[in-house]
A and B are shown apart, each in its own frame.
Chain A
Amino acid sequence: MAALWKTCHQCLRYGFSNASIYTSITAVNVISKRNFKAHWVAPTLRELQRRKVIEEDRNGGPKIFHRSTFLEWNYDAEIFAFSNRLGEKFNDSSLRAALTHKSYIERETARLSDIGVESNLQFHDNEALAKKGGEIMSKFINGYLRAVFTQVPEELIRAMHDFLTSNATLETVAKHIGLGDLMLCADFPCKTETYVKSFKAVVAALAESSGEERARIFVQDLVVTQLYGQDVNELWNPVDPVGNLTAILKREGKAEPEFRLIRQAGSNSILAVYYVGVYSDKNFISEGAGESLEVAKEMAAREALKKLFHTEDSMRALPFGRQLKNIQSRIAQLENQPNVPLSEWISQKVMSAVH
């Protein structure tokens, strides 16, 4: 009887999970061993699972508990582990302030005043830190992008920056460094904005504690790496590639781009393919393929712009970690110098900026 109760209790605690993280105390992967269970164990567990599923459907999802409601929880130890996991040193007060939200402070003061206790809570919230963190994070990201993508117009830099500082990206990063359990907030499960705010505040706390250099490396290691594997040309494309290419070549004093059909196959079928090449003064620039002549022409112009901006599929891999040691000063320098915008882009201008 005791064995059954123990098994059932364990199975109730360690149930079956959904796909998302932080939903409930579930998602247990067992390193399995041979077990001999009595004949009634499996049917009993099956019935309990059936009832649990019905109950959860009625309540609209499994019950979720914050990790801090568990008996084995030590907030000080968790904070210590958090800073060591990232390899950074934080001021204790800065980090705790960065993880405390205004909603939590309000809830606690309301609760204490309901009981009747005078609240002399020394909590600092993370509003100011989050704002500052957002600004310095943008600065660091822009510096990195401009130092690595030297030939690229400012519009693409902005698109990449917006992708990296988007709520989705920052929420993923925040969740995967363990902020979910550490944040003190009134909402549970925590909203996206809460995660994003906490992360920005942590960046600001790090800048306060260890200096801007360390914070820059932190943002590079954790946020900018999310750009790896992304095709930057999917983030932004000029609206009129043919017009832009013509304008750029004109500015550089080269001949107008000439589009010629290079290859074609299956022109009367659904799977037609046309290869169009761009030539300037009989010099081959690039080629593009498409299902019709217009599409192929646009693709060819896009490829030509990619070649000029050095963002082709075969471009150099993004540098991270130790590879950035030599260009950190350059990154810091370019944080406040935007790249050339598309309307003024010209090879000579960006050539002079290359380090």
Chain B
Amino acid sequence: MSNSHLFLPSGFLRTPLQNGLGRYIPQLQRITLKFCKNHGGSRGVRDFIESDLMEFAKTNPGTVVYLKPRRHRSPCMVAEYLNGEREYLSCHEFSRDEVHKWLSYMCTRSGIPVMRFRKYQHTDYPTVQGVWNPFTHQAPEINVAEFPHGVLSKPIDHGQTATEQLIEIFKKTQIEDPVNKPSN
């Protein structure tokens, strides 16, 4: 149940520049698709470029798409993010759908490296009422009390529980009954 065997760095949730607080800025700055015009390994990428690329470019106008046809090279995509990070992915022998899937995966990333999240939530204001300290909820009487104290040294008296109160009410009605009995 430990994470020390993972070679993955760990960290807390964060987003660059408070993204989403004011407006959402898509973090993918540019994507470069390198492929070969002939070789079979680039077929998926070529099919993607012919069919789905225009739609992708129209739906992501904030991302610049570069195409690099290079002969005798296996296809790859390099995504560059606004915080300066790059992500490289080899697309060798990918199908058209796979290319589309990985491209839309790149769109969802910010450049922050993949890491194991230590917590799935983050807040900058962890406490509103103030962090508990031993003085919270302590009666001020302890300041000038001499111990052992008649009240403060004893267990805390929470008062009667609801059950005990009902039993008392019932007992009260029991005592009144013998007075009314002769009339019966």
Task: Spell out A's residues near B (CB within 8 Å).
Answer: 6, 14, 21-22, 25, 27-31, 33, 71-74, 77-78, 80-82, 84-87, 172-173, 175-178, 180-181, 220-222, 224-226, 228-229, 261-263, 265, 275, 313-314, 317, 320-321
Contacts and interface: CB of A to CB of B under 8 A. Distances in A.
The main secondary structure of chain B at its interface with chain A is: loop
Given A313-B130, A321-B22, A173 B124 contact: no
B183 interface: no
B64 interface: yes
**A27, A74, A261: most-surrounded residue (chain B CB, <10 A):** A27
B23 A263 contact: no
A259 to B, nearest CB: 15
B22 A177 contact: no
Contacts of B129: 314
Nearest to B72: A2
A4 B127 CA distance: 57
Contact of B25 (A74, A85, A180): A85
B113 A29 contact: yes
Interface residues of B, number: 42
Contacts of A261: 143
B22 A320 contact: yes
Interface string B105-134: 000000001100000000011011110001
A229 B125 CA distance: 7
Most chain A CB neighbours (cut-off 10 Å) among B21, B26, B125 = B21
Contacts of A72: 32, 66, 68
B64 A74 contact: yes
Contacts of B140: 262
Contacts, number: 117
B62 A85 contact: yes
Interface of B: 16-18, 21-23, 25-26, 29-30, 32, 61-64, 66, 68, 73, 78, 82-90, 102, 113-114, 124-125, 127-130, 134-135, 138, 140, 143
A31 B88 contact: yes
Contacts of A33: 90
A228 B87 CA distance: 29
Contacts of A317: 125
A22 B83 CA distance: 8
B86 to A, nearest CB: 5
A87 B61 CA distance: 10
Contacts of A225: 17-18, 21-22
Contacts of B64: 74, 77-78, 80-81
Contacts of B29: 81, 85, 178, 181
Contacts of B130: 313-314
Contact of A28 (B26, B63, B87, B102): B87
Given A21-B83, A228-B124, A176 B66 contact: no
Given A72-B68, A85-B63, 7 more contacts: A80-B61, A228-B21, A263-B138, A313-B130, A320-B21, A321-B21, A321-B22
A86 B25 CA distance: 6
Nearest to B134: A265
A226 B18 contact: yes
Contacts of A21: 83-85
A327 to B, nearest CB: 15
19 contacts: A14-B86, A28-B86, A30-B87, A71-B68, A74-B64, A78-B30, A80-B61, A81-B63, A85-B25, A87-B23, A175-B84, A180-B84, A181-B29, A221-B21, A228-B18, A261-B143, A313-B128, A314-B128, A320-B22
A22 B29 CA distance: 13
B17 A172 contact: yes
A181 B30 CA distance: 11
